[in-house]
């Protein structure tokens, strides 16, 4: 049955969604993205072809070659979520222009009419009229549409990450598979990264180049040494507290400069997860922020997943962006398994 299915991944990034589909047994023919840094990890770790192209300039006819001779056509994607994030809604008043990416997704669906569609995005998207318009357009094309608020913890992903997953099908009603985990067996930071090599701040592994953590200033070294797992900067002595946190606006951000806890899930992994001051990204025990490899593992990428060619440097901002923007691989597997169950 799987050989009769073909998938195209729009906004494919480093390949988290595609890798989840491949692991679940649904082949992916191609991934589209405008970030050239995605090409190596996408093609090195997946059998699919990476195509550097702006989705705004993509048409349904461009996808025809990927679906040629295939009986079941699947289109998936994760339109960049920054326009719909809580940060963007608070501080960026020009985000309306960026919503065109979702409109382009709808336009491509209308032009090529795949049999099954899935889109993953931030929860805030469901509160916007553009999302309801997107659903209306799909229903007008005779799709059965279902959207789910997904707590990633319920599917074995070791981080507190909540996402919106839309599934739509021409064949009939389609649902996400039931949760595989509950609070009694949520995956934890310890289960995910405890067995990795110990590092000091600014150090990297000789065995795994991605197991690399950022340097810390002398002040931030003192801060992390004064931090306890699950604690906040409010635990520090007065001389360590940043001036911004003494202001009323800064008092509402207790998780920055925080350590993760071994026996709990991690917070949501972001593009800046390699920085101690960017969230609760301190290692539970070692005096450093988590490494890029640890971040990738918390995003459920396999330990062997490579993000940078062996002859190129590992740049924190670049690799952090690839990891933080990715769909967790296990969430990709859940979506793929849901599609397989629906087809059966």
What pLDDT score was predicted for residue 255? 67
Active site residue 244: no
User: DSSP 3-state assignment of 219?
Assistant: helix
- Answer for the pair 176, 271: CB distance below 8 angstroms, yes or no: no
* Per-residue tokens: 104: 């382009």
Residue 335 makes CB contacts below 8 A (sequence gap 6+) with 17, 20, 21, 76, 118, 120, 165, 167, 176
Percentage of the chain surpassing pLDDT 70? 90
Q: How far apart are the first and last CA of the chain?
A: 9
Global confidence as pTM: 0.92
Distance (Å, whole) CA 75 – CA 117: 5
Assess contact for 292 and 41: CB atoms under 8 A: no
Per-residue pLDDT of the chain in tens (344 residues, 90 and over written 9): 566 899 999 999 999 999 999 999 999 999 999 999 999 999 999 999 999 999 999 999 999 889 988 789 999 998 875 544 444 444 344 445 556 888 899 999 999 999 999 999 989 888 888 899 999 999 999 999 999 999 999 999 999 999 999 999 999 999 999 999 999 999 999 999 999 999 999 999 999 999 999 999 999 999 999 999 998 888 888 888 877 766 554 455 566 789 999 999 999 999 999 999 999 999 999 999 999 999 999 999 999 999 999 999 999 999 999 999 999 999 999 999 999 999 99
Percentage helix, strand, coil for the chain under 3-state DSSP, each rounded to 5: 40, 15, 45
Q: Which residue carries 């967790």 as its tokens?
A: 328
Q: Which residue has the tokens 């090529």?
A: 112
Catalytic residue, chosen from 81, 112, 152, 213, is 81
**How far apart, in whole angstroms, are the C-alpha atoms of residue 7 and residue 28?**
4
pLDDT of residue 2: 63
Distance CA 304, CA 323 (A): 14
- Residue 238's pLDDT is 86
Q: Do the strands 116-122 and 162-169 form a parallel or antiparallel pair, or are they unpaired?
A: antiparallel
What pLDDT is stored for residue 8 in this prediction?
97
- Which pLDDT does position 98 carry in this prediction? 59
Place of tokens 């405890």: 194
Going by C-alpha positions, the residue among 308, 329, 290 that lies closest to residue 193 is 290
- Of 40, 108, 122, 121, the C-alpha closest to 73 is 108
């Amino acid at each position: 049955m799987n050989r009769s299915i073909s998938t195209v991944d729009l906004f494919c990034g480093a390949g988290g969604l595609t890798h989840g589909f491949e692991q679940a047994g649904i082949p992916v023919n191609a991934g589209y993205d405008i970030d050239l840094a995605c090409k190596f990890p996408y093609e090195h770790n997946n059998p699919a072809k990476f195509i550097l192209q702006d989705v705004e300039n993509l048409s349904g006819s461009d996808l025809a070659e990927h679906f040629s001779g295939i009986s079941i056509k699947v289109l998936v994607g994760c339109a960049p979520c920054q326009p719909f994030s809580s940060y963007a809604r608070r501080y960026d008043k020009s985000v309306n222009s960026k919503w065109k990416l979702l409109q382009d997704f709808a336009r491509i669906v209308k032009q090529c009419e795949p049999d099954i569609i899935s889109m993953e995005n931030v929860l805030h998207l469901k509160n916007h009229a553009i999302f309801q318009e997107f659903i209306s357009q799909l229903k007008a094309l005779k799709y059965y549409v279902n959207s789910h608020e997904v707590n990633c913890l319920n599917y074995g992903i070791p981080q507190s990450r909540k996402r919106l997953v839309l599934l739509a099908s021409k064949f009939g009603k389609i649902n996400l598979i039931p949760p595989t985990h509950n609070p009694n067996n949520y995956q934890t930071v310890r289960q995910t990264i405890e067995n990795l090599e110990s590092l000091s701040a600014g150090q990297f592994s000789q065995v795994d180049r991605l197991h690399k953590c950022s340097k810390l200033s002398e002040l931030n070294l003192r801060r992390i040494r004064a931090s306890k797992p699950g604690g906040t900067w409010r635990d520090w002595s007065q001389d360590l507290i940043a001036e911004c946190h003494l202001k009323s606006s800064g008092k509402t951000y207790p998780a920055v400069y925080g350590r993760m806890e071994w026996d709990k899930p991690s917070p949501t992994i972001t593009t800046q997860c390699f920085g101690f001051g960017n969230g609760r990204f301190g290692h539970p025990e070692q005096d450093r922020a988590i490494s890029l490899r640890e971040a990738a593992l918390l995003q459920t990428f396999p330990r062997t997943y490579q993000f940078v060619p062996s002859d190129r440097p590992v740049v924190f901002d670049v690799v952090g962006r690839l990891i933080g923007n990715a769909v967790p691989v296990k969430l990709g597997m859940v979506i793929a398994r849901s599609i397989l169950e629906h087809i059966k």
